[in-house]
């Protein structure tokens, strides 16, 4: 609800204009019955052709005026909705961009797709209430006043009728909300499933199983249909109520007025006018009912958006980020405020050694350190600690890494995941990754990653658009692009995880040589078991059973450490048979 209110407050003047136009338009609707009544009374009944022509002309003019009000209202409301949609999309976008590594742990990608695909729209739809919704309330009042001038009893009837509508429809709407939210959940799950199928099409094409998936999806779809029937049963009653309640109301009012006409308290023209007014009332009543309908749906949608917005970035145990629009950190009540170190102390000014007390690994500043791990999970955990994706006791130049502002860590230490994401965009966009667009540096990074052939093979070179995940490229090509992208950032500390596992031996050897010279003087950690890569490292550490068991040059370790030799020479002696 707060979120909805925020969307309104973002555009106060537009909303005000929408309310005014909505009100004017709805009141304008009531003008026609009045004019028709005058035409009947003064023109038709009096057989006065001049008066008839005059009132008919008034009807036409009023129609044109009303059409102007109507379209202006529509334009304003559309702008309000579009503004809300754009704003929601932007807020979500900013937030999604900022949450970072914590996001996949908390929210499924399918959910984001549902929120982006439809919840934004549902939420924006609620803002329609600000225009016609407000207008409906005012129009209702105005018509009641007009009726009062004809007969106070009629007006009373109208004023009492409104709460009756609310009392009858209220419980139905609440039932609808429950049914609707179950339906929406199932619909979201079903959408996630079809998205899942789309994502897994390649697998299905390789192994088969399309029929089974078709059947499985169909079964879910049938469940949703049954749920839809239940929602429909409720929905149709609500809709019937929107027809019946104003209609019965109309009948009652007509009955009262007709009795007055019999006794001569009102004229025939007034009888027709009252009929017209109350018939016109259907519009505001409909808007209010429809509006509460939309409000229900929109609130569910807005809650989902708001929930997503409350997912906070993980500060991984230390001083947070210095992003200007950072969300205030949620404070645990039991947390003892830690003494903050003065900022200057907490940051190593230049290249410094990284030390991981868990494994005992020390990464020397300015050197290329190879880490060969028996258990890859340990290597990944090590990378997460060194890059502060988890809370740990890693020190950087003697300073606990968790005491350094996180965005400083991110700016200076880059963990290049083996499967880091490739976003849609031109190849140049992908490679420069937010950094500057320097042709030479991109070229250099491509050369180091031995990826120039990837660019050369594309129709428009660096300007070729690539879709998300670069699915059209081969695994080896993607891996080299990822490497080039990581290198292009020229981070102070670069932690590469298996950067060449999908490229052929020849290319790997070339990358190993180039990597060493490209990163000369900078700190690089290379997690790999390939002899080609490790052979070019300044120093190699063997991570075995959670500890660094040996450190030395590749050749050294081959001599001294049989387990290491066994690890890096996998397969060449021991064949797969």
Partner 1 sequence: MSRLPVADRGTVRRALLDMISRHRRAVGVVLTLHSAAAVAGLAPPWLLGTIVDRVTAGAGVATVDRLALAIAGCVLVSALLSRYAQYAGHRFGERAVAELREEFVSRTLGLPVSVVERAGSGDLATRSSVDVSTVGTTVRDVVPTIVIATVQLTLLFGAVFLLHPLLGLAALAGLPSIVAVTRWYLRRASSAYLTEGAAAAELTETLTTTAEGARTVEALRLADERVRHGTTRITLVWRARRATLALRTVFFSVVEASYPLPVAMVLLVGGYLLTRDMVSLGAVVAAALYLQQAIDPLDRLLQWTEQAQRGFASYARVLGVGMVAPEPPGTTASSRGERLVVRGARFSYSDGPDVLHGIDLEVQPGERLAVVGPSGAGKSTLARLLAGIDAPRQGVVSIGGCPVTDLDPAERRRRIALVTQEHHVFIGSVRDNLSFAAPDATDDQMRAALLTVGAEWFAELPDDLDTQLGDGARQLGAAEAQQLALARLVLADPHTLILDEATAALDPSTARRTERALAAVLVGRTVIAIAHRLNTAHDADRVAVLADGRITEIGSHDELVAAGGAYAALWRSWHTRVDER
Binding status of residue 236 toward partner 1 by CB under 8 A: yes
CB of 389 within 8 A of CB of 316? yes
How many angstroms separate the CA atoms of 425 and 159, rounded? Answer: 60
How many angstroms separate the CA atoms of 242 and 288, rounded? Answer: 10
- Number of residues this chain uses to bind partner 1 (CB under 8 A): 194
Smallest gap from Cβ 45 to partner 1, in A, equals: 6
CB of 415 within 8 A of CB of 387? yes
Alpha-carbon distances, residue 376 vs 9, 368, 388, 420, 505 (angstroms)? 52, 19, 18, 17, 21
Binding status of residue 225 toward partner 1 by CB under 8 A: yes
Tell me the per-residue interface mask from 437 to 466 with partner 1, x by CB under 8 A, - otherwise: ----------------xx--x-x-----x-
Closest to partner 1 by CB, 15 or 272: 272
Q: In this chain, which stretch among 12-20, 51-59, 287-295, 354-362 interacts with partner 1, using CB under 8 A?
A: 51-59
Smallest gap from Cβ 266 to partner 1, in A, equals: 10
Binding status of residue 272 toward partner 1 by CB under 8 A: yes
Binding status of residue 174 toward partner 1 by CB under 8 A: no
Smallest gap from Cβ 399 to partner 1, in A, equals: 21
CB of 272 within 8 A of CB of 40? yes
Burial class (CB in 10 A: 0-12, 13-18, 19+), 390: middle
Beta-strand relationship, 425-426 and 465-466 = antiparallel
How many angstroms separate the CA atoms of 123 and 1, rounded? Answer: 10
Closest to partner 1 by CB, 182 or 262: 262
Select from 357, 393, 474, 517 the one that contacts partner 1 (CB under 8 A): 474
Beta-strand relationship, 354-356 and 361-363 = antiparallel
Burial class (CB in 10 A: 0-12, 13-18, 19+), 573: exposed
Q: Match 């979201």 to its residue by tokens.
A: 188
Binding status of residue 70 toward partner 1 by CB under 8 A: yes
Closest to partner 1 by CB, 160 or 207: 207
Q: In this chain, which stretch among 10-18, 289-297, 331-339, 528-536 interacts with partner 1, using CB under 8 A?
A: 528-536
Q: Match 């042709």 to its residue by tokens.
A: 439
Binding status of residue 210 toward partner 1 by CB under 8 A: yes
Residues in 492-521 that interact with partner 1 by CB under 8 A: 498, 501-509
CB of 500 within 8 A of CB of 534? no
Q: In this chain, which stretch among 153-161, 167-175, 341-349, 484-492 interacts with partner 1, using CB under 8 A?
A: 484-492
Select from 218, 437, 438, 460 the one that contacts partner 1 (CB under 8 A): 218
Alpha carbon of residue 541 to chain centroid: 42
How many angstroms separate the CA atoms of 379 and 359, rounded? Answer: 10
Residues in 300-329 that interact with partner 1 by CB under 8 A: 313, 323
Residues in 280-299 that interact with partner 1 by CB under 8 A: 282
Q: In this chain, which stretch among 1-9, 11-19, 152-160, 186-194 interacts with partner 1, using CB under 8 A?
A: 186-194
Smallest gap from Cβ 16 to partner 1, in A, equals: 20
For 269, the token pair is 């023209």
Alpha carbon of residue 499 to chain centroid: 31
Residues in 85-114 that interact with partner 1 by CB under 8 A: 85-86, 89-90, 92-94, 96-104, 107-114
Select from 22, 161, 284, 476 the one that contacts partner 1 (CB under 8 A): 476
Binding status of residue 545 toward partner 1 by CB under 8 A: no
How many angstroms separate the CA atoms of 386 and 400, rounded? Answer: 11
Residues in 246-265 that interact with partner 1 by CB under 8 A: 247-248, 250-252, 254-255, 258-259, 261-262
Closest to partner 1 by CB, 90 or 439: 90
Binding status of residue 175 toward partner 1 by CB under 8 A: no
Select from 480, 516, 519, 542 the one that contacts partner 1 (CB under 8 A): 480
Residues in 21-40 that interact with partner 1 by CB under 8 A: 32-33, 36, 39-40
Binding status of residue 161 toward partner 1 by CB under 8 A: no
Closest to partner 1 by CB, 118 or 341: 118
Binding status of residue 68 toward partner 1 by CB under 8 A: yes
CB of 172 within 8 A of CB of 234? yes
List all residues 6 or more positions away from 58 whose beta carbon is below 8 Å from its beta carbon: 35, 38
List all residues 6 or more positions away from 555 whose beta carbon is below 8 Å from its beta carbon: 535
Neighbouring C-beta atoms of residue 78, cutoff 10 Å: 12
Binding status of residue 228 toward partner 1 by CB under 8 A: yes
For 81, the token pair is 């909705």
Neighbouring C-beta atoms of residue 155, cutoff 10 Å: 17
Smallest gap from Cβ 70 to partner 1, in A, equals: 5
Binding status of residue 233 toward partner 1 by CB under 8 A: yes
Q: Match 């040059």 to its residue by tokens.
A: 553
Closest to partner 1 by CB, 1 or 168: 168
First to last CA, the chain: 64
Select from 3, 122, 140, 275 the one that contacts partner 1 (CB under 8 A): 275
Binding status of residue 84 toward partner 1 by CB under 8 A: no
How many angstroms separate the CA atoms of 536 and 508, rounded? Answer: 11
Residues in 351-410 that interact with partner 1 by CB under 8 A: 373-377, 379, 387, 389, 407, 410
Smallest gap from Cβ 96 to partner 1, in A, equals: 5
CB of 329 within 8 A of CB of 312? yes
Binding status of residue 203 toward partner 1 by CB under 8 A: yes
List all residues 6 or more positions away from 387 whose beta carbon is below 8 Å from its beta carbon: 409, 413, 414, 415, 495
Binding status of residue 82 toward partner 1 by CB under 8 A: yes
Smallest gap from Cβ 166 to partner 1, in A, equals: 18
Select from 293, 448, 529, 541 the one that contacts partner 1 (CB under 8 A): 529
């Amino acid at each position: 609800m707060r979120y909805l209110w925020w969307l309104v407050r973002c555009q106060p003047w537009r909303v005000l204009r929408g309310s005014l136009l909505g009100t004017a338009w709805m009141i304008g609707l009531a003008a026609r019955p009045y004019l028709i009544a005058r035409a009947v009374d003064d023109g038709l009944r009096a057989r006065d052709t001049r008066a008839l022509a005059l009132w008919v002309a008034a009807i036409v003019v009023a129609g044109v005026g009303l059409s102007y009000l109507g379209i202006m209202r529509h334009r304003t409301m559309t702008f309000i909705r579009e503004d809300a949609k754009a704003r929601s999309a932007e807020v979500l976008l900013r937030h999604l961009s900022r949450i970072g590594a914590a996001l996949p742990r908390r929210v499924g990608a399918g959910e984001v797709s549902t929120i982006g695909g439809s919840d934004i729209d549902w939420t924006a739809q609620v803002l329609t209430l600000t225009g016609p919704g407000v207008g409906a309330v005012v129009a209702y009042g105005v018509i009641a006043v007009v009726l009062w001038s004809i007969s106070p009893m009629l007006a009373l009837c109208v004023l009492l009728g409104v709460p009756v509508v609310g009392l009858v429809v209220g419980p139905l709407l609440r039932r609808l909300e429950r049914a609707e939210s179950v339906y929406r959940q199932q619909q979201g799950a079903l959408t996630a499933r079809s998205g899942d199928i789309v994502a897994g099409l390649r697998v299905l094409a390789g192994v088969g199983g399309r029929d089974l998936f078709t059947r499985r999806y169909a079964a879910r779809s049938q469940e949703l249909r049954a749920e839809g029937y239940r929602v429909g049963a409720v929905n149709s009653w609500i809709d019937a109520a929107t027809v019946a309640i104003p209609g019965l109301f109309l009948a009652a009012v007509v009955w009262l007025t007709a009795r007055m006409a019999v006794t001569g308290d009102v004229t025939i023209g007034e009888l027709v006018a009252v009929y017209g007014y109350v018939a016109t009332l259907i519009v505001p009543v409909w808007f209010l009912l429809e509006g509460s309908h939309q409000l229900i749906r929109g609130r569910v949608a807005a809650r989902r958006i708001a929930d997503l917005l409350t997912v906070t970035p993980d500060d991984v145990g230390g001083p947070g980020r210095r992003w200007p629009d950072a969300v205030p950190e949620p404070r645990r009540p039991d947390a003892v405020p830690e003494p903050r170190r003065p900022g200057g102390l907490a940051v190593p000014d230049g290249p410094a050694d990284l030390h991981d007390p868990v494994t005992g690994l020390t990464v020397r500043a300015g050197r290329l350190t190879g880490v060969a791990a028996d258990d890859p999970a340990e290597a990944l955990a090590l990378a997460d600690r060194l890059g502060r994706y988890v809370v740990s006791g890693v020190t950087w130049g003697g300073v606990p890494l968790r005491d350094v502002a996180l965005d400083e860590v991110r700016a200076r230490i880059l963990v290049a995941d083996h499967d880091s994401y490739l976003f849609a965009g031109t190849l140049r966009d992908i490679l420069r990754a937010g950094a500057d667009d320097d042709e030479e540096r991109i070229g250099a990074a491509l050369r180091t990653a031995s990826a120039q052939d990837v660019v050369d093979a594309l129709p428009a070179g660096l300007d070729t658009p690539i879709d998300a995940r670069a699915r059209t490229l081969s695994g080896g090509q993607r891996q080299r692009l990822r490497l080039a992208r990581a290198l292009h950032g020229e981070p102070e500390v670069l932690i590469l995880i298996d950067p060449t596992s999908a490229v052929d031996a020849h290319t790997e050897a070339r990358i190993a040589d180039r990597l060493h010279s490209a990163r000369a003087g900078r700190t690089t950690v290379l997690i790999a078991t390939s002899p080609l890569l490790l052979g070019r490292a300044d120093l190699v550490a063997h991570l075995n059973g959670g500890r660094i068991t040996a450190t030395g040059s590749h050749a050294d370790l081959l001599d001294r450490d049989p387990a290491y030799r066994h690890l890096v020479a996998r397969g060449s002696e021991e064949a797969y048979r």
